[in-house]
Amino acid sequence: MKKPLIALTAAALLLAAAGCAADNEAGDSGSTGSTSAAASPSASATATPSASGTPSGSPSPSATASAPPIAPGFPTDVLPIMPDSTPLATSFETDDKLFTASLTATTSASTDAVLAYYAAEFTAQGFTPTEAENQGSATLRQFVRSGGEEIANVTVVPREGTATYTVSVNTLAEPAK
């Protein structure tokens, strides 16, 4: 189970690093316990209107530019956002049995600093860290709890003086409350 989770985490991180953002307009049609948000990599505080004349209420490729990068109700007590980071996307879902949350962000901190921050956070929550692994330019570290039933992953990709990282947590719903 470790390799598929690492591969999924790495894939999510690489998509975020490449500037891909989830289309929040589509959403989940039947899921009531799921929330996500993403920031457009081209969003800026001084956005200018497009010359296309698209009405402001119509979906457009830039519709996610105003979406908040942190989903409403995002559980920062379970998955904290590292100080001096810029969140790019968050998501979480919970039901009676499982709690899942993820965060993708950038920071000027080093890979080691990101890994150390989340190691402290997750060990304080009772997770046990595994050894960090390098896969290409990505560094991955997994944390386990409850005999491996609960898992947290941190993947960091450094690039041009910044690090883009994705953190995900999959826990039983009861401990996450």
Tokens of 37: 């948000």
The neighbouring-strand residues paired with 134 are 139
Above 60 in pLDDT, residue 148? yes
Above 50 in pLDDT, residue 137? yes
For residue 117, what is the enclosing H or E element? Answer: helix 111-124
Neighbours of 142 (CB within 10 A): 22
Quickly list DSSP for 85-109.
EEEEEEEEEE-SSEEEEEEEEEESS
Phi/psi region, residue 122 (left: phi>0; alpha: psi -120 to 50; beta: rest), is alpha
How far is the C-alpha of 155 from the C-alpha of 2, rounded, in Å?
Answer: 13
pTM for this predicted structure = 0.66
State the pLDDT at residue 36. Answer: 54
pLDDT band at 150 (very low <50, low <70, confident <90, very high): very high
Structural domain spans, the chain: 1-20+82-177
The neighbouring-strand residues paired with 122 are none
Residue 171 or 68, more confident:
171
3-class SS of residue 30 = coil
Above 50 in pLDDT, residue 147? yes
Residue 137 or 63, more confident:
137
Which pLDDT tens digit goes with each residue over 53-97? 334 443 433 344 455 688 888 899 999 999 999 999 999 998 889
Closest CA to 3 of 169, 173, 142: 142
CA atoms within 13 A on the CB side of 111: 14
State the pLDDT at residue 9. Answer: 47
Neighbours of 20 (CB within 10 A): 13
Architecture of domain 1-20+82-177: 2-Layer Sandwich (3.30)
CA atoms within 13 A on the CB side of 5: 20
* Contact call for residues 105 and 118 (beta carbons, < 8 A): no
pLDDT band at 174 (very low <50, low <70, confident <90, very high): confident
Which pLDDT tens digit goes with each residue over 9-66? 444 444 444 443 333 333 343 444 555 555 444 333 333 333 333 344 434 333 444 5
Tokens of 144: 């386990």
DSSP state of 33: S
